[in-house]
Chain A
Amino acid sequence: MKLTTHHSPLTTDLSVNIAGIKMKNPVMCGSGTFAFGEEYAEFFDLKEMGAIVTKTITLKPRKGNPPPRIKETYSGMLNCIGLQNPGTEAFIRDKMPVLRKPGIPIIVSIGGETEQEYTDITRELKGVRGVSGIELNISCPNLHPHLSPLPSRERKEKERLRMFAQDEKAAAGVVRRVRRITRLPLIVKLSPNVTDIKIIARAVERAGADAVSLINTPLGMAINLEKRTPCLSNTTGGLSGPAIKPIALRMVREVYNTVRIPIIGMGGIMDARDALEFMVCGAKAVAVGTANFVNPRAIPEIIDGIRKYMVENRIKKIGLLVGSLKAK
């Protein structure tokens, strides 16, 4: 029998605490899918969200990749935006005042090509009012051209600059350096483009990460057969949307079985059921990404759906769901 939603809603507790970041519900946005919040304020009250994760900022402004930057694929999309952003200084000056307004936790996603860049941004963020945590984006797949027909010397140069998240030592190194200079909660965003994500997760945990978020986008490609060219300007792009959900669920489960720090799960969450599946696999919080593009009200609808599920299933605390997957 179905219970109605007005059945003791006061006893459903959606709040979660991720490494000291107190969220009134476990739903945040995925970095890069929500810009700096302003656009979505037209569709719902941002106060409803658990937290906002900003688009990744870099130390200096970045122009991003030329168009075409996106291509729809089956139940998903590829993107190669290339971290277009105004840089840390302009972010603090122009974006933070707007982001602070809703009064919810703000997690600033930062990215860079060197360890130094990560620590420089972290230093600049020190003392900035309203910053609740830092997400280290060490897994952006679009910083460098892949598979492009570059002359071999140049290609070697570029390949040295592959993402930190693909190497346990590189990942741990950057986390350790940032850890040394900040007390803010440190979330590390992991890449699925690895042989074994457990190894990277363990490495960043040991290096001092307070939480991990996964997954960033798997690298993919789309082809224009008529022209025999790649569809995207950068040849490859990150795949997102429902197409990657099974991969993300599997990786969340693997990491949950490996580390003790909390996991923020993401990858193709379109509705409340998807979000709940991630939590059952072990995610303490979830991030909604591509769904925002399809339905700008996806986040508040998912929060409502989670609450409804809890009421219907008499779950009083959302934490009780986390990792509750049973063996088959």
Chain B
Amino acid sequence: MVKTEKCRIIENKKVGPDFYRLKIIAPLIAIKARPGQFVHIRCSGPAGILLRRPFSIHKINNANVSAYQRINVSAQKQGWIEIFYKTVGKGTEALARKKPGEIINVIGPLGNGFSIPRKINSAILVAGGMGVAPLLLLAEELQKSNCKLQKLNLNPSSSIQHPGSRIIVLIGAKTKKELLCENEFKNLGCTVKVSTDDGSKGYKGLVTGLLENVVRRTSYVIRKNKRSTVYACGPKAMLREVSRIAAKHKIPCQVSLEEDMACGIGACYGCPVNTKQGYKLVCKDGPVFNAGEIV
């Protein structure tokens, strides 16, 4: 029954031009949440903001103590979750003004997250802009999963840069300044490649161009094993292109969608996405869908 939590803010800090990281104590959500799921937050601040705002879960930390012990540990040691967000309007701006110690009302975890096939042995994660948010948690889960991910050597001829990596992360942004989470993914042991629209860092062009290159170079390995998956989150046009590339190379692909939402739980029918089986709801049936399903 419990799905609403009043969460104390541990940290809400600015980490870029319009980017913020919000860490909140949410032991119940932290225990249940899966990568790709989201939380629905009341950003209430100035009068006039009515609806909650959905944010995908970026990091989870489950306190490694029993409920009994938890009574005596400091707030920081309780289970927390982190969301990574960009201020794009009144709701997120109100959220950005919240201070540590304040309480916010959170519903979650909501929706269906990414699924990790049991026999998966490698993965390509494609993030456009804020799309990194749910993918970091996914990368962590993939690294933790027991299945044996196989090395995907991007450059057989050159010296091996990331010997243990079975996860390739492609991050795209407009400029170098807006590239997000590069180090976080590297710290998890992923191979990270970046693209910028203006070429200020990495591949010049769209992240989908980068994906095309990577898939072409690794598709032999991927196809032979048939056990890789592409996971993507980002703008709609990017997701469409990622789906196309994955389909062309016959790699399973999951995409995380975003849509304006009211209730977040499947009651208002406000966030439809057109699928082969008709309209489905991003909040309840998604936000993660198999790319092939989407029309």
Contact = CB atoms under 8 A, between A and B. Distances in A.
A67 B261 CA distance: 11
B4 A297 contact: yes
B269 A39 contact: no
Nearest to B90: A72
Contacts of A293: 51-52, 262-264, 267-268
B50 A75 contact: yes
Interface string A217-244: 0000000000000000000000001100
B3 interface: yes
Interface in A131-165: none
Contact of A39 (B47, B267, B273): B267
Given A42-B3, A294-B50, A296-B107, A35 B269 contact: yes
A44 B107 CA distance: 14
Nearest to B262: A293
B51 A64 contact: no
A15 interface: no
Interface in B246-295: 259-274, 278-279, 284
Contact of A294 (B51, B266, B272): B51
A64 B272 contact: yes
Contact of A69 (B105, B263, B271): B271
B71 interface: no
Nearest to B107: A296
A66 interface: yes
Given A69-B272, A70-B260, A75 B267 contact: no
Nearest to A70: B270
A275 interface: no
B262 A70 contact: yes
Given A67-B259, A72-B51, A75-B48, A35 B1 contact: no
B193 interface: no
Nearest to A45: B1
B28 to A, nearest CB: 13
Contacts of B263: 33, 39, 292-293, 296
A68 B263 CA distance: 15
A39 B268 CA distance: 10
A69 B263 CA distance: 13
Interface stretch (A76-84, A98-106, A191-199, A278-286): A76-84
Contacts of A77: 50-51, 262
B42 interface: yes
Interface string A286-304: 0000101111110000000
Contact of A81 (B268, B273, B274): B268
Interface in A55-79: 55, 63-64, 66-72, 74-77, 79
26 contacts: A34-B267, A35-B266, A35-B268, A35-B269, A39-B267, A42-B3, A43-B1, A55-B269, A63-B278, A66-B272, A66-B274, A69-B269, A70-B261, A70-B268, A71-B260, A72-B50, A75-B48, A76-B50, A79-B262, A79-B268, A292-B263, A293-B52, A293-B263, A294-B50, A296-B3, A296-B4
Interface of B: 1, 3-4, 42, 47-52, 91, 105, 107, 259-274, 278-279, 284
Given A35-B269, A293-B264, 12 more contacts: A32-B268, A33-B268, A39-B265, A39-B266, A64-B272, A67-B273, A70-B261, A79-B270, A293-B51, A294-B42, A294-B51, A296-B263
